[in-house]
Amino acid sequence: MSEQALSHLKVLELCNFVSGPYCTKLLADLGAEVIKVEPPGIGDEARKRAPFLNDIPHPERSGLFLYLNTNKLGITLDIKTTKGRGILKELIKEADILVEDNPPKVIKALGLTYQELQKINPRLVMTSITPFGQTGPYRDYKAYEMNLYHAGGEGYLLPTQSPDLTREPVKAGGLVGDCICGLSSAIATLAGAYNLNETGVGQYIDVSKQDVLMTMVLLEIAMYANMGIVRNRLERPLLMPIPMECQDGYIMISALTDREWQDLVKFMGNPSWASDERFSQWILRHTNGDKINPHIREWTKSYQKDELFHQLQKSALVAAPVNSSEDLVNSAQMEARGFFAEAEHPKAGKLKYPTVPYKLSKTPSKVERAAPLLGQHNESIYCGRLGYTKEELVKLKESGII
């Protein structure tokens, strides 16, 4: 891929499921060459996860895998074998970046620590993404997204504004926790690559997923660290803290400043309840939010969510509808931005994919390649790059190493 921001970067991925693959996907979508290494026969765990196209389970038709691995090359290799590790090291010699997500003790057992690898490639930037990082008493502990989300303190306050205050905590939907970890890892990795370009020397980057979740403005953590206060998720009488119901869904309206509040009141047609002295200042509106919210709720019910959204925006008020996936795929805004792009895949056919959330004017990202089939680029990498003959490739295949 020429003319992309990261066209000159060569990345090797030794990762599974979401965090690591999302990290390298972000680099691949910006133009880096990413070679994904998967275990022979089995492949990445994500291949086994729903949603499957037309609900028919198949390792080449998992929506999760297809999304997380666009623009990558895919090869198979059993790194548990000595031969496999030898080949991996040949690939590492040619890479700028290695991203891996194995527990520290596994990496050590495989002889793939940064100390070892820097000897064969001093330029290497190696990023390890693990649940609790490379140091500390929990370094070899196991945790998935749903465990870490709660370990990182994100879940403790959820659901906020719950009518049932004694219920168990929940987490945000989807695999957002893992995506945040992938994003953070991509930034640190790119900073390492930037520095490599200037100095010619690589380095080791240790990412702790628990730490990532804690850096996402959890002011509750700062409050305890500095004032000893533990906040819980009990209901507080805030002004419009949750979406309001409309005829066909929900809308989230905000009126944070005095001016916005006055504009909103005017927009609602100056109802008499709004002139209450208790609602005259920001702080009063927040402590008396429970007295205002029922009025707003009553008022929004007479609108359709998109109708109200556009009208509020025209009055320079802040609002957005609660969008379902259908709303988003059919959104005029998404259409105008070209957010969804089609890519052809040998097994999954032509599908629409979400692209990247940023547009670079000079080096635009494009979906050039769908996710690789398991071992799709074995020949081009092993024969084309490393110089193995086709006979050797057959032997490696027969012995289960690739």
347 to 386, contacts with another protein by CB under 8 A? Answer: 351-363
> What is the β-pairing status of strands 72-76 and 97-100?
unpaired
Quick check: 214 binds another protein (CB under 8 A)?
yes
Query: Given the rule CB under 8 A, which of 71-79, 189-197, 261-269, 385-393 is the region that contacts another protein?
Result: 189-197
161 binds another protein (CB under 8 A): yes
What region, left, alpha or beta, does residue 258 occupy, with left being phi > 0 and alpha being psi -120 to 50 degrees?
alpha
Instruction: Give the integer Cα–Cα distance in Å for 33 and 12.
Output: 8
Is 218 among the residues that bind another protein (CB under 8 A)?
yes
Decide: is 201 part of the binding site for another protein (CB under 8 A): yes
Q: How far is the CB of 331 from another protein (least distance, A)?
A: 9
Q: How far is the CB of 319 from another protein (least distance, A)?
A: 6
Choose between 161 and 288: whose C-beta lies nearer to another protein: 161
Note whether 370 and 344 are within 8 A (CB): yes
d(CA 284, CA 278): 6
Q: Which two tokens stand for residue 307?
A: 């109708």
Largest CA distance in the chain: 86
Q: Write out the binding residues for another protein, residues 306-335 only, by CB under 8 A.
A: 313, 316-329, 332-335
Q: What is the arrangement of strands in the sheet containing 244-246, beginning at the earlier edge strand?
A: 244-246, 249-254, 318-321
Cis peptide before 57, with omega less than 30 degrees from 0? no
d(CA 42, CA 33): 23
162 touches another protein (CB under 8 A): yes
Site string for another protein, 47-66 (x = CB under 8 A): ----x-xxx-------xx--
Q: Does 42 bind another protein (CB under 8 A)?
A: no
Of positions 2, 56, 82, 137, contacts another protein by CB under 8 A = 137
Query: Is 79 a binder of another protein (CB under 8 A)?
Result: no
**Binding to another protein by residue 18, rule CB under 8 A?**
yes
Query: Dihedral (C-alpha) 252, 256, 262, 264: value to the nearest 10 degrees?
Result: -10
**Which residues does 374 contact at the CB level (< 8 Å), separation at least 6?**
38, 43, 47, 59, 60, 74, 76
DSSP line for 162-204: -S-TTSPP---STTHHHHHHHHHHHHHHHHHHHHHHHHS--EE
Minimum distance of another protein from residue 79's CB (angstroms)? 20
> Does residue 401 sit in helix, strand or coil?
coil
DSSP 372: P
301 belongs to the binding site for another protein (CB under 8 A): no
**Which residue number, 76 or 184, has a Cβ lying nearer to another protein?**
184
Cβ 313 to another protein shortest distance, Å: 5
- State the minimum distance, in angstroms, from the CB of residue 87 to another protein: 26
Phi, psi of 215 (to 5 degrees): -85, -5
Query: Which tokens belong to 38?
Result: 């998967």
Q: Which is nearer to another protein, 75 or 196 (CB)?
A: 196
Q: Which of 208, 261, 292, 378 binds another protein (CB under 8 A)?
A: 208
> What is the nearest approach in angstroms of another protein to the Cβ of residue 207?
5
Min CB(402)–another protein separation in Å = 24
Cross-strand bridge partners of residue 12: 35, 98
Closer to another protein by Cβ: residue 245 or 276: 245
If one asks whether residue 222 binds another protein (CB under 8 A), the answer comes out as: yes
Would you state the structure tokens that stand for residue 301, as one six-digit string?
A: 């019910």
Q: Cα dist. 313→246, 253, 318, 340 in Å?
A: 16, 10, 6, 25
Nearer to another protein, 180 or 381 (CB): 180
Among 65, 67, 279, 303, contact with another protein (rule: CB under 8 A): 67
342, 350 Cβ separation under 8 angstroms: yes
Of 85-124, binders to another protein (CB under 8 A) are 114
How many binding residues for another protein (CB under 8 A)? 150
Least distance from C-beta 260 to another protein, angstroms?
A: 9
Restricted to residues 252-271, the positions that interact with another protein (CB under 8 A) are 252-254, 256
